[in-house]
Every structure is written in C-alpha cells, then in structure tokens.
Chain A
Amino acid sequence: MAISEGRSGRGALLPLRISQLAGSRGGSLAIFVGKRILWMVPIVFFVILITFVLMHLAPGSPWDRTGGRQLSQAVMNNLNIKYGLDKPETEQFKLYVWNVIHFDFGLSYQYEGKSVVTLIGGGWPYTATIGFLAFLLIVPVGISLGVVAALRQNTRVDYITMGFATFAASFPNFVIGALMVVVFSVVLYKATDGNFFLPSADFGLDSHLIMPVITLSLLPIAYTARLTRASTLDTIRQDFVRTAWAKGLPERLVVIRHILKNSLIPVVTTLGPTFAFLVTGSVIVETVFNIPGIGRAFVVAVSSRDYPMILGTTVLFSVIIAVANLVVDVAYVFIDPRVRLT
C-alpha cells in the first residue's frame, strides 16, 4: 500500500489513489463514504456482541413453551446439541462471528430447516416496500404541510394543518389501522367490491398496500410537518429572507430557494432515522394488516428466543440504520454549502 508523502493524519493511511482525490470535493466525499463504510464493520461487530450477550442473559430457552405440554429434558438436550447450544457461549459467539464473515447467518430454531437468510429474504421485501412507499408519501406531504402552515402562521390553514398533525401523532397506529380496517374493509366492503382494501392474507403488492402505507406514514408525516413548520418559521425571520423579499423576488423563488433549502437541514436529519425505522418494519402495522414482513418476525423471534433469527435481523437493522445515517450526512453537502465532510 503506497503512502502519499507530506500528508499526515488519517488520510496517510489511505491508498494513494484515494488520497490524491482528497484534494477535490468529490474526493473528500469518497474518502468520507469509504471510511464510514469501513466503520460499519466494528459497528456490526459490537451490535452482534451486545445482542448476543443480552439474548443469552434473557431468561428462557428457545425450547420452553408458553403453556401446555413442555418438551421433556431429553428432547431439549438433543435440540441443544443439534443447534450447538451445548457448547460454551464464548465458543458459540466465535462460531457465529466466523459464520457471519462467510455470510452464513445460520438456521432458525423456530422454523425447522429454514435459514435466517431465507426467512429474512422472504419477509423483508414486503416490509421494505411498505416502508419505502410510506417514505415517498411522508417527504412531500409532511414537508409541504409544514411549509404551508409556517407561511400562513396563525391562520385557519395553520390551525387545520397542525390540528391534523396533532391528531395523527396522538392516535396510536393500532387504533388507526384497526379503524381503517373496520371502515374500509367491513362497513364499506360492498362499495369496494369486498376485496379492494382487504387486509391480511393473499397479501400482494397492489391495493393491499394502501391502508398499511397510510397507517405507517401518519405519525412521521405529523412529525415531519411540525418540524418543518418550526424550522421554516425560524428561517423566515432570517435577514437573508428579508433581503430576498426586499429585492422583490417572487414568492415561489423566496420559498423554494431561500426558505425551504435552509429549513430542511433539521428535517433531513430526522428523515434518515425515519427511513430506517420505516423499512425495518412496524410490528403493529404488520400484525393488524397481516403482512408477512420482518418487523413482526423480529418480535416473534425475540419472544420465542430464536437466537439466529434475532441476530440476523439485528445485523440487518444496524446496517440499514448506519447506511441511512450515512446518506443523511452526504445529503447535507448538497443541501447546505456550509457543511464540509472532513
């Protein structure tokens, strides 16, 4: 590995080619992204470590039943041997990490003979689709509601918009989901051919998406709207906005170029985690609409102590959250010229 001369600090450890790029803005961005991606390795390692320790500290074995016939000790012994749980925990940990390096996330305890990769691969597309669509809904709707409310502060528009946001934020989504099911699927089912909005079972990427996506996005829309409103109000009072008005710029330009661009920083900061939260699934939405996603699978895995499944989903979630945060940090560069990634 060549080391570029005259450079000190972290850049010195990087290969020459990238270091040379570091002079330009694109180059520093590439280095930033590269470093952050490398950082994900220790992050994932510690996530595995902490999850592993907590998981094994939690009382209850994967073979305990929640009621009725318990498995006999002989059966549990054989299951422990079958899944390697008879080995010391340090050895189990080393083995798991070794397997993860080889992209082997093991077999689920709960679903006989199914690998964690198969189970997550089967469920995540549903979760991710719903989460992604919800995100596509949240960004324009949440931001425009916030901006409109701020520009029309203390008018009826503001009150209605913020009233809606408060309403959406205070109703838990299991109430909203269940309510929508009752209204659209049961009461109005004839009007909608009895099937259009139906939740659960035969879940497909079609009209079934409408209700879960709305349910999932209501709270983040409310949150985004309020945040945008607060941030916009802040920006409106800045000198440069006053200057822009004074220059006689049309409203559209003032709002988009001067107000919006500067109000978005805090909003973008929250959109990253929001995106991660959305695409990792909501237990409640997946349960109410019977979506075979991984949000629910994760909770089931925890309550049934399905260790490989818990670890596999946690690793996936941590990678998604790390990537989402990285994307947010990169997005700053394009939104706010003051931000430098060094």
Chain B
Amino acid sequence: MHSRLTIRRALSLATAGVFLVGCGGGGSTSANPAPPDKQILRVNDRTEPNSYDPTQQTYSYEAGVGRQVFEALLKPKADGSDVQAAAAKSYDISSDGLTYTFHLQPNAKWSDGKPVTASDWVYGYQHLLNPALAAGYVDPYFDSVIAGATHWGDFSSKSSVKDIDGFVSGLGLSAPDPSTFVIKLDHPAGYFKWVVTLWLAAPIRKDVVEQAAGGAFPSNDPTKALMWANNAATIIGNGVFKISEIAPKDHVTLVPNPYYWGGPAKLQQVIEYFIEDGNTAYSKYQTGALDMIGVPLADVTVVRGDPKLSKQANLYPRLGTWWMVANAQRPPLDNPKVRMAFAKSIDRNSLVNNVLHGVGTPTLSYIPKGMAGYDESNKVQSFDPAAAKKLLADAGVTAADLNKFKLLTRNTTGNKTINQFIVDQWNTNLGLNIQLDVVDSKTTTSRYLRKGDFDLYGPDGWGADYPDQQDWFDNYTTGACHSLNWGCAKLDGFDELVKKADAGVDQAQRNKDYAAAHKIMIDQAAIGMLYQDAEYDLIQPWVANVKSTAIDDQFLVGSFYWHDVYITTH
C-alpha cells in the first residue's frame, strides 16, 4: 500500500509537530562515534533504481539513491516553511518574477575533484529537457514553466538533430559566469523555487557523458546520452555521497564524496539494499543486519508489543493524504450531495485504528498537516451516517440507483483490505449493496481510470514532491481530468483560483486563493478524504543524529540529512 502512494517524494515540510528532529533510535548506547571502519549505515531502498541518471528518475526508491549522489540547487528548510541553500548558496528573483539567478557554492566540486561550474548546470538542465531522452518528470514540472520549454511535447527522438538543438539552445538557461546559473521563466510562478529542489534537476558532466558514449553523438539519439549512468565508475555526482559499487538487484554502496563543499560525510559507507519483501527486511533488521526499515503492516502490532523493538520504532507522519473518488461524469454521482453521502459514511477513526493499525491519521483535509494549506476547520465531510442518508434522500437517490456501482480496487493486499472496509461502511451506513471490482494495477490505470470508465475508485493518494500547494491543486483542475483528476467533478471557480495562485508571487495571497480552492473541492466532495499517511519505522539505537522530515524518501528516515548521521559505539 505504501508503495502506491507516491512515486517519489520530494522535499518538505512544515510546521510544528510534523518535523521531528533527532530520533536516533533511542536505545542506551553511548553517544561516542564508532571508529571509521564501523561508520556504515545499512538501509533498505526496496527496489533498484531504473536508472542512475538522476534526470531519468521518478520513483521514491530512485530518489533514495539519486538524492545522495546529486545535489539540487536548493533544498527545503528544516521546518518546510521555505527553501534554503544547497548547491546554490543564494538566489535572486527579478522584480517581474521571470528571472531566477542562482549563485553557486564557490567550493562546489564533483566527486572526481573537478569544480562544478554553471555550464555543468546548463548542461544538466538541457539533458533533463532534451525531448529525445523523454525524462519522466519534465512534464509538467519543468516544461510548463521554463522559457522556451512549453513546446517540449512537440519534439521527440524522431525530431532532427537541428530541431532538437534548436529547442535545447532556445531554453531559458544560461551561465553568465562560472558561478552563476540563470533560469528564465515563461511566466511568473511563485512556486518555481520549489521546483529546483527536486533531486532530478541536477548538474551533469558533459565530458563524462560523451566519453561513456564513445565520443560526441547526435542530440536526437535516445540512448547514448544515458550510457554514463550504467557504470559506477562514470557516475560522477556533486552530492554528499558517490557510488562505489552497484550489485544489480542486490545493493548499491555509497561512500563519501571527499570533495563535497560542506565537508565529507561522517558515514564511511551507506549500503542501500534492494529487498522488496518487507518481511525479509524485517527479519534482517531483527538480526542487526539492517539499521533502518519500515515495519510491514502485519507486524505493526507485534513491534508495538515488543519491549525492545517498540523502543526503536517511531511513527513518522508524511506529507501525503488518501481519499476515495466518485466518477462525477456518471449520474447520479454528478450530484455533489451523493458524493458527499459517500464521504460522510466512512468512519475514518475505525479505518486508521483497525485496518491501518494506527499508521496514519484520520483527516478531512486534502492538504496534509505540516504544510501551508492544511485545513482542519472544514468538517463538512465528517462521519455522520444519519446526515449521509439524508443527503441521499434529498438528492432523490435510492439504494437501487447506487447498487449497480462497483468500487474499482487495485489488486494489492493493502488496497483490497482498505476497500473491503470502505465498501462495508457504505453498505452498512447507507443501506447499499456495492461490490468490489478487483483489477490488476496497470489495467486499473490504463483501461479504467484514464478512460473515465469506473464508478467509484480508491484509495487514491498523493505525496508532496515539495511543500507547495501548487503540487497538489494542479491535480484537480479541469485540465487534469482523466490524468490525475479521475473523478472530473465540476468545480466552479476552482481552475481560476488555482491558476492565479500558481502564478502569484505574494505568498499570503497565494495561500488565500488556494484555501478558497480547497474549500470548493472539499465542499463539493470532489474527493472523499480518508487519512494522512505515516510510516512506522524501526531504527537501530546506534544510529545517531537522524533528522527526519515528512518528505524523506520512503523508509529512508532523514534522507535529506544523512551528511550528519553517524554510528555510535555498540
């Protein structure tokens, strides 16, 4: 179920309560660092990255490696309220909001010791935006906003070298001097500072890419430009760590980048294993062969009741929420009252306590607690079976009208368990007889969701890529209908508010506009909220100085700050 939520999570987070600092296990070991040969952190990244080229990465398990090996221009502040310096020591925004000037860290060096220059950044962004390479997250994050990039989709590896060269050189990317990287935007976008925190927007070494490809190559070649990332020796990054070994499907070993501008990391090795079976990882943790894991749902109660393990476990809230969707293009689900009846007939507390074993928090807000936009005041979707029944009666809808509907369910254990609970809630509280329709996960997306061919679907979820509301509200605009906005509910005024807020530069005004948009989608029950995501993770007591955020890479607690983590004597 967790793996469903996000594909990748990016930076984040926000206000009080959510950002936890220093949860290093909590055992009785000393605070003395262990000798260097013991400074090894062993974690489970679950799945091997599909690519080691950061620009090609999209999944959370890919960020789990990419984020350590490459460093983006900015990163989120500890409290998630704003961005802070990373590979860029500072940045300026022109008064028209169209030009972003990044002043690079003066001592920034690649893992082979060469200085990181602004032209490396230009090349990295060009590499990311080269249409022939079809990077997964170019659209919509980058092509929609960078000057000259909006026609990205008109080009491909079929385009001529001249066309690709023309497109790439026409992008608003420049390096006026070796330590200054300038990005020009197509239109003002108050959230752009967050976009450049994404790990996949990294500098890339042109000489390394060309050498691995066997010399210069045509810009429309879809594979040559990616060959450098197939070999640990040629994956030269600017991040805290560098890759020393890739054991396919088994693990990668990271060692400190000795030239990192902030000084080398304390850990001498990070071993990221690719263990897909949560129970296998749990076994390894119990023998002390892993330092950090996510507890499998089935073992949560066991860990809670274990005197030793319960001390090493913590609940980590995430900037992610889950909800149910009704197909608003299918009457009577086009009636907000009917959708609201479904939303109000789910006992979220029971869901979280009994089905999720407390790993999560019931929520009525689309925007999660911990970032701007969280709204706990709007209780219109709260659990109230009597009111829900009344809504159906008011709408003139009978059980017979709804019993033909099915709840589309992805064929995974997590989704089936949750949906059995939900459908039971609906049937009990609304007097219905709705059935589950369990379908292979890919078929669910392509055959049913993308075509709008379903009645009810869920649980659907989102995890923040960065703690800006643009990342959330864009998903429910009319333009996102049948791509992420599966229900396609008609929300009057929503698109305009979101568009205005996305472009806005005044944060207070943006928050106000997003809040209005949030009220519309919740009041109209475009989605029926369920719960906010959390991770229940175990960390060995000898891992010190772990700083978690609510957008850490999945099961890799504190992955934004591993530079400072160390192992104590034990």
Q: A interface vs B, CB < 8 Å?
A: 58-61, 64-75, 77-79, 81-82, 107, 110-114, 119, 122-123, 178, 181-182, 185-186, 189, 194-195, 198-203, 287-290, 292, 296-297, 303-305
Contacts and interface: CB of A to CB of B under 8 A. Distances in A.
A72 B483 contact: yes
A170 B410 CA distance: 30
Contact of A200 (B53, B280, B440): B280
Contact of B230 (A60, A114, A123, A290): A114
B134 A59 contact: no
Given A60-B443, A82-B156, A68 B136 contact: no
Contacts of B483: 70, 72-73
Contact of A201 (B139, B226, B248, B250): B250
A141 B323 CA distance: 54
Interface stretch (B111-119, B281-289, B347-355, B490-498): B281-289
Given A181-B280, A201-B250, A70 B484 contact: yes
A110 B50 contact: yes
Given A69-B6, A111-B51, A82 B280 contact: no
Given A67-B7, A73-B483, A112-B51, A81 B139 contact: no
A60 B446 contact: yes
A199 B143 CA distance: 45
B275 interface: yes
Contacts of A189: 286-287
Contacts of A107: 223
B277 A186 contact: no
Contacts of A65: 7, 445
12 contacts: A59-B442, A60-B445, A67-B3, A68-B461, A68-B463, A69-B6, A69-B8, A70-B483, A71-B139, A199-B284, A200-B277, A292-B248
Contacts of A186: 283, 286-287
A132 B503 CA distance: 62
Interface of B: 3-8, 48, 50-51, 53, 56, 58, 131-140, 143, 152-153, 155-158, 222-223, 226-227, 229-230, 247-251, 273-277, 279-281, 283-284, 286-289, 410, 412, 440-447, 450, 460-463, 465, 483-484
Contacts of B288: 194
A30 to B, nearest CB: 40
A71 B281 CA distance: 30
A200 B290 CA distance: 11
Contact of B283 (A69, A72, A181): A181
B143 A290 contact: no
Contacts of B5: 67-68
Contact of B139 (A64, A74, A122): A74
Contact of A288 (B155, B280, B441): B280
Interface centre among B8, B133, B280, B288 (most CB of A within 10 A): B280
Contacts of A122: 248-249
Contacts of B250: 201-203, 290, 292
Given A60-B442, A66-B4, A195-B287, 12 more contacts: A59-B443, A64-B445, A64-B450, A67-B7, A67-B461, A72-B139, A72-B153, A74-B153, A75-B136, A82-B132, A181-B279, A290-B250
A83 B228 CA distance: 19
B273 A67 contact: no
A81 B251 contact: no
Contacts of B56: 112
Contact of A82 (B58, B134, B143, B281): B134
Interface of A is mostly: loop
B276 A303 contact: no
Nearest to B138: A75
Nearest to B281: A200
A287 B276 contact: yes
Interface pairs A-B: 5 shortest CB-CB: A74-B153, A60-B442, A292-B249, A112-B51, A67-B4
Contacts of A202: 247, 250-251
A77 B136 CA distance: 11
A114 B157 CA distance: 18
A133 to B, nearest CB: 19
A244 to B, nearest CB: 52
Contacts of A58: 443
Contacts of A112: 50-51, 53, 56, 226, 229
A290 B249 CA distance: 9
Nearest to B290: A201
A68 B462 contact: yes
Nearest to A287: B277
A70 B170 CA distance: 28
Contact of B157 (A59, A81, A305): A81
Nearest to B229: A113
B207 to A, nearest CB: 19
A103 to B, nearest CB: 18
B311 to A, nearest CB: 18
A38 to B, nearest CB: 35
Contact of B284 (A77, A119, A198): A198
A77 B153 contact: yes
A335 to B, nearest CB: 40
Contacts of B158: 81
Contacts of A296: 276
B330 to A, nearest CB: 20
Contacts of A74: 139, 143, 152-153
B140 A72 contact: yes
A189 B285 CA distance: 12
Nearest to A284: B277
Nearest to B52: A112
A15 B300 CA distance: 70
A68 B250 CA distance: 26
A113 B227 contact: yes
B283 A185 contact: yes
A200 B461 contact: no
Given A59-B442, A66-B410, A74-B152, A199 B280 contact: yes
A188 to B, nearest CB: 10
Contacts of B249: 122-123, 292, 297
B50 A75 contact: no
A185 to B, nearest CB: 6
Given A59-B446, A70-B483, A113-B223, A290 B276 contact: yes
A95 to B, nearest CB: 15
A41 B521 CA distance: 60
Contacts of A287: 276-277, 280
A110 B443 CA distance: 17
Nearest to B282: A186
A287 B227 CA distance: 29
B470 to A, nearest CB: 14
A73 B153 CA distance: 9
Contacts of A68: 4-8, 461-463
Contacts of B132: 78, 82
Contacts of B287: 185-186, 189, 194-195, 198
